[in-house]
Structure 1
Amino acid sequence: MGKFLPMVFVEDLFKDLGIEDPTLAANIPKYFKVGSERLYELQHEDGGWGWWENDETHPYMTAYVTYGLIKAQQAGLEVQQDAIDRGIGSIKEQLKKEKDRTTQLFMLQTLSLVNQGDPKLLRKIYEDRKGLNPYAKAILALLLSQSGDPDKLQTVLQEIREAKIVEDSLVHWEGQEFHYNWQDDSLETTAYALRALVAGKSENGSQDGELIGKASRWALTQRIGDSWRSTKSTAIMVHAFYDVVKKTGELAPDYSVSVYLNGELVESFKMTKEDLTRGRTITILDSQLKKGENIIKLEKSGRGVLYYSAALKYYTGEENLQASDHGFTVSREYYRLKKVKREDAYVYLPEKVEGPVKSGEELLVRVTVKNPGNFEYFLLEDPIPAGAEVIKEDKGYEIEGDPNYTGENTFEYRYAGKEIHDNRVALSLTYLEQNEFVFSYLLRAQIPGEYHVMPAMGSLMYFPEKRGHSDELLLKIED
């Protein structure tokens, strides 16, 4: 969803502005076809979606996916109507028992796209809005802007204005960083606040014009390169800028820019409406930098707003990388499996690998994650040694002391998802509880050689700044 939805917004915006982008127009159907087919596969029998392949239907994800499919259909893409209808039906059923006000509002937002909202519930939430966070109030404002109640809309917008956080010349709305709940993210909260302010902004301007500009600039400072921290946050932020630009008409620039590094001109260029689809990327090599402080200066002249971001990329050539903890402690160990018979069944005894292993040996990979709190949507990715392969058919293995292999393949119930790629294994959890969790899978050593196995990396899927990785590992395989 997060990959094709921003493209849908951008193409729709370009159509409004009369801008043609043949590459974008050609790519959107291809991206959408791949993404939508996967979404159809993941739709549950009750019509809803979860965060992963094997978890329970989740009200937020059901509303999010259904919202995206409806938006894609409105943009002219071919969408299975049955998938939308079943999604709408699931939202209505879940809404009957949902108690969280923010989740209710998010679900109502999707239902409003097909004129199937619940005015009575919306009115009740408005009356009880005192305890709502800025994220929820922003969605409430969006819904009120559609319902044609300007007095209530302005009341909520004023409460949103009062909740802003001012940092120098920038403004944002605060979420609780690294919290496990999606509605407490400051990026998404600011995106929805922007959309709400734009929805309430009169055609001839208002007090919110300056506020929208400051919040937009804050959002751009949060980019990592040309996107935000995840595809989900990128999609939501692009939606916000889509609303901003359609309302303000900012996409008609005519200005020149000069970029300087330590007082020396690096590049000059002109930006007009025709350049918008291409953007501009300027690369400064390490050979151009001096030791110590380096100053990059941008000078602009002409009409329009210059939006920019900067990213630093570097690579290390060092070996034997050590574990790093930025919220999680991750450790990884390899074990040989010794097969022994006990009564009428075979059991595998794990023995820690010390020294080389033989080609053909079966190995247990065990990754332990220790964390200080309870979190949601955790992803572990562990690189596969080039000379080994994952044992995919691992049902029935009983490994002494391992919680994932008890002879009944119970790992399927412990993980929300398990994906085996050519170069890594990805294991996911909807809920990662405090203390520690053990991930494990099986390998078979194959091609003789000495292999550097890059660290196993664990992170929150939608807050990748909270992460940790294990030590690098050296695996030697012999004939």
Structure 2
Amino acid sequence: EENGIWDGEERKVPVFPVGVEETIGGFCILDKDTSFSIPYDPSISILEIYATNSTAGFMLKEIEKLKDYPHYCMEQSASKLRGYLAEEKIMKQIDKGFNNKSQIRKMIKKLEKGQLKNGSWGWWPNSSANIWMTSYISSALAEASKAGYPSIALSKSAQILLWELDVLKGPELLKVLSVLSDMKEAVHFKTYVDKLENDSLSLHNWLILQRIKQKNNLGPSIEKILDLKKETIFGNYYWGNENNIYYNNSIDLTILAYQIIEDYDSLHLVLEKARRYLINQSGNKRKINTYQTASMLQTILPGALRENEQVFDKPELEVVMEETYHVIDFPFSKTIKGQTKEIQVKKSGLSPVYFTWYSKSWNKKPNAVDSIFKIDTWFETKDKKSEILKAGDNVVLNVKIKALKKAGYIMIEIPVPAGCSYGNNKRTNTYKETHREYFKNKTIIYCETLEPREHIFKINLQARFNGSYTLNPARLELMYFPTFYGRNSIRDISIEPK
């Protein structure tokens, strides 16, 4: 008022760092009496440590990661729904209040809104129907219905799955039969099982068939399933190979085998070792996707809750760094700033402790990654390449992706320079793109498939503010296997007065 100003408006300008965020760390299950050390790394400025002696506590941490995932395609919405349902069961078991009933209903509403007119779902709302997506979402909604959260979408999806039965074959037929078994639909499952028994099936599909047989009292081949198990150097059991082949990796196969074995009380030791394997895969720095996380949580939850009720001697933990911490009360968490030496960890007692450590940092000069996807970006003004942009001009940010192999379910993250705002962005690659989202600092494009050739995507911008700016790397990753990715290098751009 002293300056003669009576009114004003505050506008916050977000500032995003240069470079990319990178995470390093590790996870282990500490059984019995054991010790290990975390090496000293001078490049780490802040190290986070977390330990819990509760399987339920570990699962709640995994559920938080699932809930915090920033994307909301139909699969991820269904996976978050399954995460919230698992959280509700855990909170009830440990006698704590559950405050996310509204989030469960929100996820159900999102799935209902995204359902297509014929009762199916695609990867995103209004994208083409996908039988795998329809099956998975139907399964999640059926799980919600059993927990007391009914959905109007479930009867419509059951109808479309029943209609599709006689035209489906192989993996799609198996997936639908499995879901219809869960939904207790009136299907003559033996007729389909007898036909599928004569097919040449991968191990993944064969295990799905055994699960269908089990659900319908047709007798799974339990002895063969046990013969196919493998053992890690830590004595945990798994099925399949430790690779990133979609639907045919050790995580998905172990989940399927676990679901079958769980019905046999005499195999509880096998089940425990398979559960430890899945927990290790989820907790260590190897990334697993949202579908696998939700499936793992749903699968191991009953056994994990039973394990949580068992009373062993109370574990003790000693963590030696700049100070020494004697831990008997869990969970234990510590933020270490300025680590100067290796950290010694010693655990005693029969009860397991789930121990994780990680550090997040910004790499200001990330190198290009181009072994699978080669990415290049450039600007155009009036259909001509522009090295220097002029304030006020409409410009096009071009992203060229050369896929060296065919890939599916892809997310392309394209940073937008701070000196630009969005122009008219009517999609130009509708046959390639499934969905596109615009954020202040980036555009994200989703594609169900990219063939092994060059693809160009365009983002219309307007150069607004003079100055020198940094364009962070564009990145492409497989959403369900994010360790497969490509990116280009950081580059500088200039915007000059017109």
Partner of residue 64, structure 1: 136
Q: CA deviation at 1:470?
A: 1.4
* Structure 1 residues 461 and 296: CA distance shift in structure 2, 3 A: farther
Residues 161 and 38 of structure 1, relative CA distance in 2, 3 Å threshold? same
Distance 1:14 1:233, change over 3 A: same
Q: Which residue of 1 aligns with 2:316?
A: 257
1:112 to 181, 196, 207: 181
What is the rounded CA distance, in whole Å, between the counterparts of 1:133 and 1:358 in structure 2?
57
| Corresponding residue of 1:45 | 117
Of 261-270 and 428-437, the range deviating more from structure 2: 261-270
Look up the SS of the partner of 1:477 in the other structure: strand
User: Take 1:310 and 1:240, find their aligned partners in 2: how far apart are those partners?
Assistant: 25
CA separation of 1:424/1:259 partners in 2, compared to 1, >3 Å: closer, same or farther?
Answer: farther
Does the CA-based 8 Å contact 1:378-1:431 persist in structure 2?
A: yes
User: Alpha-carbon deviation of 1:236?
Assistant: 0.8
Instruction: Indicate the residue corresponding to 1:322 in structure 2.
Output: 367
**2:199 corresponds to 1:166:** no
**Shift in CA distance, 469/268, structure 1 to aligned 2, threshold 3 Å:** same
Conservation of the 8 A alpha-carbon contact between 2:414 and 2:444: yes
Matched residue type, 2:479: M
Q: CA deviation at 1:447?
A: 2.5
For 2:326 and 2:361, locate their aligned partners in 1 and report how far apart those are by CA, in whole Å.
22
* One-letter amino acid matched to 1:108: L
Choose which of 240, 246, 250 in structure 2 pairs with 1:186.
250
1:72-87 matched pairs, under 5 angstroms: 72-77=144-149, 79-81=150-152, 83-87=153-157
User: What is the match of residue 399 of structure 1?
Assistant: none
Q: Is the 8 A contact 1:173 1:186 kept in 2?
A: yes
Q: Are residues 167 and 262 of structure 1, via their aligned partners in 2, closer, same or farther at CA, if it must alter by over 3 Å?
A: farther
Question: Is this contact kept in 1: 2:236–2:277, CA < 8 A?
Answer: yes
Q: 2:336 aligns with which of 272, 277, 285?
A: 285
Question: 1:3 is matched with which residue?
Answer: 80
How far 1:49 moved relative to its partner? 0.8
| Counterpart-to-counterpart distance in 2, 1:419 and 1:450 | 26
Inter-partner Cα distance in structure 2 for 1:13 and 1:253: 17
Are 1:224 and 1:311, in contact at CA under 8 Å, matched by a contact in 2?
no
Contact 2:239 2:253 (8 Å CA) reproduced: yes
1:353 aligns with 2:386: yes
Mapped pair 1:30 → 2:102: yes
* One of 67, 92, 95 as aligned partner of 1:20: 95
Query: Number of residue pairs matched?
Result: 417
Query: Does the 8 A contact of 1:170 with 1:217 survive in 2?
Result: yes
Deviation string, structure 1 residues 207-235 (Cα, Å, up to 9, x no partner): x3332222222222223569952222110
Q: Distance in 2 between matches of 1:381 and 1:259?
A: 42
Rate the CA distance shift 1:361–1:312 in 2: closer, same or farther, 3 A.
Answer: same
- What is the correspondence of 1:430-449 to structure 2 with a 5 Å cutoff? 430-449=448-467
Alignment match of 1:229 (pick from 283, 288, 291): 288
**2:358 equivalent to 1:311:** yes
Change (3 A) 1:360 1:259: farther
Partner of residue 198, structure 2: 128
Aligned to 2:348: 300
Query: Could you tell me how far apart the structure 2 residues matched to 1:466 and 1:306 are?
Result: 31
**Is the 8 Å Cα contact of residues 195 and 243 (structure 1) preserved in structure 2?**
no
Gaps of 5+ in 2: 1-77
- Given that residues 134 and 163 in structure 1 are in contact (C-alpha distance below 8 angstroms), is that contact kept between their aligned partners in structure 2? no
Distance 2:348 2:362 in 1: 32
Q: Decide whether the 8 Å contact of 2:81 with 2:140 is kept in 1.
A: no
In structure 1, stretches of 5+ residues that fail to align are 272-279, 339-348, 396-408
Do the aligned partners of residues 421 and 372 (structure 1) sit closer, same or farther apart at CA in structure 2, a change above 3 Å counting? same
Q: Which amino acid aligns with 1:193?
A: A
Question: How far apart, CA to CA, are the structure 2 residues paired with 1:310 and 1:453?
Answer: 31
Calculate the TM-score normalised by the size of structure 2: 0.76
Counterparts of 1:6 and 1:423 in 2: how far apart (Å)?
Answer: 29
Structure 1's 309 and 133: CA in aligned 2 closer, same or farther, altered over 3 A?
farther
Give the equivalent residue in structure 2 for 1:333: 378
Change (3 A) 1:371 1:135: same
Task: Report if the CA contact (8 A) 2:412-2:476 is conserved.
Answer: yes
- Residue 14 of structure 1 and its aligned partner are, at CA, apart by 4.3
TM-superposed deviation, 1:240: 1.7
Q: Distance in 1 between matches of 2:357 and 2:484?
A: 21
1:139–1:378 distance in 2 versus 1, CA, 3 Å: same
Change (3 A) 1:69 1:457: same
Q: CA RMSD in A?
A: 2.7
TM-score (norm 1): 0.79
